[in-house]
Amino acid sequence: MKNERRIGAHLDTHKLLDYLDGQADTTSRREVEEHLGLPCPACRDLLHEFGALLERMRLDRIDEVPEELRARALAVFAPREAPTLPQRVAEMLARILFDSLSQPIPEAARRAVGEVRRLRLGLGEHSLELEFETESAETRSVRGRLDAPDPQLHRVELLIAAERLSGWADASGVFTFERVPRGTARITVVGPAGHYRLPPLEL
């Protein structure tokens, strides 16, 4: 009577892959080889399939990219730091071109608009118009219109006493602050062209 070797459990796929890739240790390699010596067509077929797959993967590998070329490619997609504005652009003092307190508007115009203080300021090559109107004995409204490219990208900050107000001009350059307390206002306009500081203005 012939001695037959029992097949036992099939080989684990991880063991087969490690065996084909040369990563199996001595014990695992012996276990795989002993099992493949048994009449187990399922494991032998699986071994052949894995072998063919690994061969296709090896053939599909591309050459190593030169380090110089790799560095140049990564540099193309590296985030660029935003340029730092020069100090003379980052902080500029606005010039008062017109102030109704020192250059009163005609009487007819005053009757039409009421007691409103109007100013026009130069911001470099651009301009800013402001109106201060009394709301109550203690508060004022501040309205403005910025004449500059992309006015909606400009932020207007108003600091008065302990309060700090901030808002964005709309697409037409208009902005408004309401219920602003009386006092000395310090207004700045911050945009792509730089940081403009207005002279202190009494509300």
Whether residue 5 lies inside any domain: the answer is no
Report the candidate in 31, 32, 37 with the shortest Cα–Cα distance to residue 4.
37
Q: Which of 37-51, 77-91, 127-141 has the lowest mean pLDDT?
A: 77-91
Same-domain check for residues 107 and 182: yes
Q: Which of 14-18, 76-80, 96-100 has the lowest mean pLDDT?
A: 76-80
Q: How far is the C-alpha of 33 from the C-alpha of 67, rounded, in Å?
A: 41
Number of domains the chain contains: 2
Same-domain check for residues 154 and 54: no
- How does DSSP assign 36-103, residue by residue? HTSS-HHHHHHHHHHHHHHHHHHHTPPPPPPHHHHHHHHHHTSPPPPPPPPHHHHSEE-EEEEETTTS
pTM of the model: 0.53
Same-domain check for residues 53 and 141: no
Same-domain check for residues 140 and 54: no
Same-domain check for residues 123 and 49: no
Residue 77 has pLDDT above 80, yes or no: no
Residue 135 tokens read as 């709301």
Same-domain check for residues 54 and 107: no
Per the model's pLDDT, the better-predicted residue between 114 and 141 turns out to be 141
Q: How far is the C-alpha of 140 from the C-alpha of 187, rounded, in Å?
A: 14
* Whether the Cβ atoms of residue 57 and residue 21 lie closer than 8 Å to each other: no
We report the CATH number of the domain holding residue 110 as 2.60.40
- pLDDT at residue number 2: 44
Whether residue 155 lies inside any domain: the answer is yes
Same-domain check for residues 178 and 115: yes
Instruction: Read off the pLDDT of residues 160-178 as tens digits, 9 standing for 90 and up.
Output: 988 999 999 999 999 999 9
- pLDDT at residue number 109: 57
Q: Is 3 helix (H, G, I), strand (E, B) or coil?
A: coil
Residue 37 has pLDDT above 50, yes or no: yes
35: containing domain: 13-61
Same-domain check for residues 98 and 189: yes
Same-domain check for residues 118 and 175: yes
The CA-CA-CA angle for residues 62, 44, 18, to 5°, reads 45
Neighbour-count burial for 175-200, b at 16+ CB within 10 Å, e otherwise: bebeebebbebebbbbbebbbbbbee
Give percent of the chain with pLDDT exceeding 70. Answer: 82
Whether residue 143 lies inside any domain: the answer is yes
* Whether the Cβ atoms of residue 150 and residue 126 lie closer than 8 Å to each other: no
